[in-house]
Every structure is written in C-alpha cells, then in structure tokens.
Amino acid sequence: MKTKQTKSPKSQKSPRPTKNAKPANIARGKTRTPAEATPTSSKFPIAVSNPTKIFWPEEGYTKLQLIEFYADIFPKLQPYVKDRILSLERCPDGMRGGCFYQKEAPSTMPPGTPTKEIAHVGKSAKSTNYVVGGSLATQLALANLGCIAVHVSGSRASSLRKPDWVCFDMDPQSGKFSDAARAGLRLKEVLDTLKLESFPKTSGSRGLHVFIPIKPDTDVNEVLSFAESLVARLAAQFPKDLTVEHSIAARKQRVYLDPYRNGFGQTVVAPYSVRRRPKAPFSTPLAWSEVSPALDPSEFNLGNYAKRLSGADPWQDFFRNRQPLSAAINALKKI
C-alpha cells in the first residue's frame, strides 16, 4: 500500500441515501460547497443546510442541534480526530431514513479540507482519498452531510502503520449494557496485570469500549495480534459469559470481545461521537469507578451533554500516558 498526502478532497457522484448502499465509484474534480446551504449562525465556519430538519423525531432534535453539539464539544473531540483518517457513516435523514458508508472524501467538503490518499494493493490498484480530521470546519461539514457518528482510525495519517492506541469493543449479544460493563471490568483486571493503564467509554450504543494509549512504535499487525491473543485468553477463562466467535449465532447471549478495530485501516467510534440511536446518546469517556452494570449509557445524550462537560474529564491524561506495548506483549505470553 502506498500513501500520498493531499490537501483538498476529490469530487464524487452523489450516492443515494439507501440503507444498504455501498460507496460509489469516485470521479475526480474540484471541491465545492452546496449551493442550497445557508448560514445559520456566524459562530460556525460553514453554512448549514436544512438546519430545522428533524433528525430524532421522538426527542425533536434537529440537524442544527447536532451541529451545535459538535461545535461545543470540539475542543474535547479534537485530540482524538486530529491527523486521523475518518470513515464516514452518512445518515442524511437522521433516525427517519437509512444510512450508507463512504470512505472517499465528499466533493462538498470545504476547500482545503485535509485528506489522505491511500493506494490499495491489488489488481485494480485504485486509491481512496480519506478525510483527515482535526479542524472544526471539517467536523461541522461532516455533520452537515448527515455524519452523525465519528469513525476514526487508531493511527495518525502521517504514520498509518503505527497506532497510538489499542481498543477493545465489548459487544453484548443480550443487548444489555450491564453485560458489557461486567466484561469490561474483567478485561481491566487482565490489563492491570500487564501493567497497562486503560480508559473506558460507552460506545454510545449498548457496548463498552476500552482504550489503551500506547507509544506509536509497534506495527499495526503486531498490535492486532496482541489484542486477538488477549481476548482469546479472556474468553477461554469465562466461556459462559464471553466469546470471540465470529458467527453471531454461535455467540448466543455472551459478550463478543472484538479486537478487530485494531486492524489496518479499521476505525472505531471516537470519544464524544453522537450515535444514531434513540435519545441521541454520545460515546462518553468514563472513569473506571463509573463502569457499573447499573449504568445507563443513554443518560449521556444530546439533551444534557453540557452537564457532563462541566465536570472533570476522566480521560484528561489519555495522551500523557502513552505506554510501550512490547513489555505487555512479552508478559502476555507468560500468563
């Protein structure tokens, strides 16, 4: 795979907003902004189209409220998206319509939007021009296109094969966050044994994510191998409650321990990312003392986020705690 840094996105044909649509083939061209967009507030660096469009009918939340949320929390979000490639999940009608995934940078992004072109290895030798996060204008423009959630890579665009975090996804097949919380606490015990400091967050849906900040000196394949080995050992220790089964049917009501967000080019929902779920919850950084089967992740949502932001940030030291992974890799082989 070859990479090439570019400064402006390339145009694409407008995909149809259908539930199962796949990213369309991309035509190259110049960046432009939507002709129908109209400014709604001078505090935004972009024009917002259809600001009163209802994205969450039950709660009455609009597209503008989603954009206001991202504008307000961007100082918190920025460290987790800066210089990282983004995978776009576009839901132009919010909860009312379908969604589609897109990797190519939309032609309607603001001029000068940072992008990263990645040439794929294979017969076609095609490339994808990804949006790179880090600026408020980029984030708000994506929200304006219906990107409710923020899906981000574990490595910087400038060093794609060297992640600076490891992440684990506790996905409860029961649909109960309480099961994910119990799995997360068991994972923490193993990470503590390996002397790795970890940081939990709600996924914004039913699951729990556990992140480990690491020094970007380990190849992505070795990081993935470490994560796979760790969850396999944990599932073997608690086979009635945890699983690494690929087959959904075989998982039954157990918690699926997913290590694959650590693979090359894979993304995970960023901290502070809103989810397309009832009540408009956002992926909320937690202190381990808050991880409890009694916690309801939907308590943190678009309607009350200011209260959460007014308190202490449990992840404030996240990037100050980059740890070498080599010692943990060797230690895991011995337990």
Q: How confident is the model at residue 122 (pLDDT cuts 50, 70, 90)?
A: low
Q: How many CB atoms lie within 10 A of CB 200?
A: 25
CA torsion angle 199 201 203 206 (round to 10)? 110
* pLDDT in the model for residue 123: 57
- Name the phi and psi angles at 33, rounded to 5: -110, 155
> Which one-letter DSSP state was computed for residue 80?
H
* pLDDT in the model for residue 124: 65
Mean pLDDT in the chain?
Answer: 88
pLDDT digits (tens, 9 = 90+) for 290-304: 999 999 999 999 999
State how far the Cα of 290 lies from the Cα of 297, in Å rounded to an integer: 11
* pLDDT in the model for residue 300: 97
pLDDT digits (tens, 9 = 90+) for 147-172: 999 999 999 999 999 999 999 999 99
**Residue 116 burial class via C-beta count within 10 angstroms: exposed 0-12, middle 13-18, buried 19 and up:** buried
Given a cut of 90, whether residue 217 has pLDDT beyond it is yes
55-79 average pLDDT score? 97
State how far the Cα of 202 lies from the Cα of 308, in Å rounded to an integer: 13
* pLDDT in the model for residue 119: 83
212-219 average pLDDT score? 97
CA angle 80, 170, 246 (to 5 degrees): 115
* pLDDT in the model for residue 296: 97
> Which one-letter DSSP state was computed for residue 265?
T
Q: What is the DSSP string of 14-54?
A: PPP--TT--PPPPPP------TT-B---TT-SSPBSSTT-E
Among 165, 98, 110, smallest CA distance to 134 is for 110
Q: What's the whole-model pTM score?
A: 0.86
Tokens in use for 137?
Answer: 């204008």
Among 19, 196, 192, smallest CA distance to 95 is for 19
Q: How confident is the model at residue 33 (pLDDT cuts 50, 70, 90)?
A: very low
State how far the Cα of 186 lies from the Cα of 184, in Å rounded to an integer: 5
